[in-house]
Amino acid sequence: MAEKVSVGLIGCGVVGGGLVRALSRNGALMASRLGAQISVERIAVRDLSKNRDLPVEPAIFTTDWMSIATDPAIHLVVELVGGTDTAREMILTALRHGKSVITANKALICEYGEELFEEAEKNGVNLYYEASVAGGIPIIKALREGLIGNRVQRLYGILNGTCNYILTQMKNKGWDFDYALAEAQRLGYAEADPALDVDGHDTAHKAGILASLSYGFWVRPDQVHTEGIRGLDILDIQFAARMGYTFKLLAMVKPNLAAPVSQNGARPFSPVQVTVFPTLLPEDHVLANVNGVFNAVFVQGDVVGETLYYGPGAGADATASAVLSDLADAALDIKCDSAGRVPAFTPHEEDGEVQDIDSVVCPFYLRLQVMDRPGTMANIASILGDLNIGISSMFQPEGHEGDRVPLVLMIHDARHDAMREALKKIGQLDVVFGDPVMIRVEPFDPLPVLAD
């Protein structure tokens, strides 16, 4: 029974520094709860001369990460350097030297998760990655352990605080996208190069991880249909609010329950929708009221029903809290010699596949700039009708002068390929100006009752 778990930390930036401070503050509390002391013995950094003002002895710092990954006296390695290529090498090296690893690296897990999990299993150790998704929200543990007896019927996530802050400010303060982004950068919520966040890639990495855990097959980054919020027009946010909707960059993970049933009545494994795009949510839904930099994950299980996980999705303290959780799990596994007690990922669905975006069905918001003259609506409705696309409602906002006016249509459930064809034809009408704006709607309708 190990009384002390020796930890090597690779990377000591914002999150690494937050972790060291958190351990200094609550390490004794964790030891009393675990029956094992967690001790950071070595820290690898790029620059030894940098003043870090951390409650550790300067002698434990090194620039040689390899010496940590291969040191027999180090039980556990925490990787917090970011990136993929070097971080992958660091983790593989540690795993091959019989060390369990903790990481907060979502891009790495999404891109190389399968390889890393297999290497961990082969070497009788484990890979922990709670901090890779949704910061301080323990969603990995919830899916992997708390909801293990449930089939996930649908999962929705607001997983990027930068985008959520921007959309919140655009709605509440009337800022345009560029101004809201500049404020997010000024406050430190957005990077100087915000592409990873505002173009949806950060959310897509997290969505792929959650989808893989929920459905038991690995979802590659290129399988996640991804759109960001860059250039979102304030007009659409205002019009949507008038109709009772709120914009969110939403990750959606849910099976296609409309998949055909075989002749003998068997229901095959349904393709799973894994998407990230700006979405209109009813204002009275709980996710519509997740504001600012906060994250939330909504999971519906077939046994438990609807559950919600809410909290800070980024920052030194939130991420450090998730790493502490993994440190506790890893310390108990080392203490009890049970590294494989809860495997990092168990592929259990051989027939799993990601649904093609063209076959995804949902309602849509459609905004057009049109000529204000008789027959315009009839031409548009004719195109939609020929493609079996129904209009649920429409309105023409008042207060727009001239012969060009906005026209907003709410579309019934339709396939993406049909909508894309409709927009192409509508955009070619001589009464339509500019590119049509199409945004998906998630009404959170009750799930259909399926026969066993």
pLDDT at position 339: 76
Residue pair 300/155 in contact by the 8 Å Cβ criterion? yes
Mean pLDDT of the chain: 92
Q: What is the pLDDT of residues 259-279, one digit of tens each?
A: 555 555 555 678 999 999 999
Contact (CB, 8 A) for 103 and 79: yes
- Note the pLDDT of residue 399: 61
Backbone angles phi, psi at 103, to 5 degrees: -140, 155
How confident is the model over 105-121, as pLDDT tens digits? 999 999 999 999 999 99
Q: Got the DSSP string for 12-24? A: -SHHHHHHHHHHH
Asked if 142-312 and 357-441 have one fold, the answer is no
Share of the chain above pLDDT 70, in %: 95
The tokens for 233 are 């027009």
Q: Are strands 294-301 and 361-371 parallel, antiparallel or unpaired?
A: unpaired
Active site residue 206: yes
User: Homologous superfamily of 357-441 in CATH?
Assistant: ACT domain (3.30.70.260)
- What is the CA 373 to chain-centroid distance, rounded? 44
Cβ contact 311:137 at 8 Å: yes
Q: Which amino acid is at 4?
A: K
> Is there a contact between 9 and 78 (Cβ–Cβ < 8 Å)?
yes
- pLDDT band at residue 401 using 50, 70 and 90 as cut-offs: low
Band (417; pLDDT cuts 50, 70, 90): very high
* Catalytic residue selected from 99, 106, 171, 206: 206
Contacts of 300 by beta carbon, 8 Å cutoff, 6+ apart: 152, 153, 154, 155, 306, 307, 447
pLDDT digit string, tens, across residues 130-151: 999 998 999 999 999 999 999 9
Taking residues 285-290, report their average pLDDT: 97
Is domain 4-135+316-335 annotated with CATH 3.40.50.720?
A: yes
Distance CA 115, CA 368 (A): 47
Residues linked to residue 232 through DSSP beta bridges, in sequence order = none
Residue 143, CB-side half-sphere exposure with 13 Å CA sphere:
28
What confidence tens digit (pLDDT) does each residue in 65-116 have? 999 999 999 999 999 998 999 999 999 999 999 999 999 999 999 999 999 9
Beta bridge partners of 19: none
What distance in Å separates the CA atoms of residue 288 and residue 67, rounded to the nearest whole number? 48
Q: List phi, psi (to 5°) of 18.
A: -60, -40
Q: Give the model's pLDDT for residue 255.
A: 92
Residue recorded with tokens 């906005």 = 406
Nearest to 354 by CA among 213, 212, 250: 212
End-to-end CA distance of the chain: 47
Parallel/antiparallel/unpaired status of strands 152-158 and 245-255? antiparallel
Mean pLDDT for 315-319 is 89
- The domain ranges of the chain are 4-135+316-335, 142-312, 357-441
In CATH, what number does 142-312 get?
Answer: 3.30.360.10
Instruction: Give kind and range of the element (H or E) at residue 102.
Output: strand 100-103
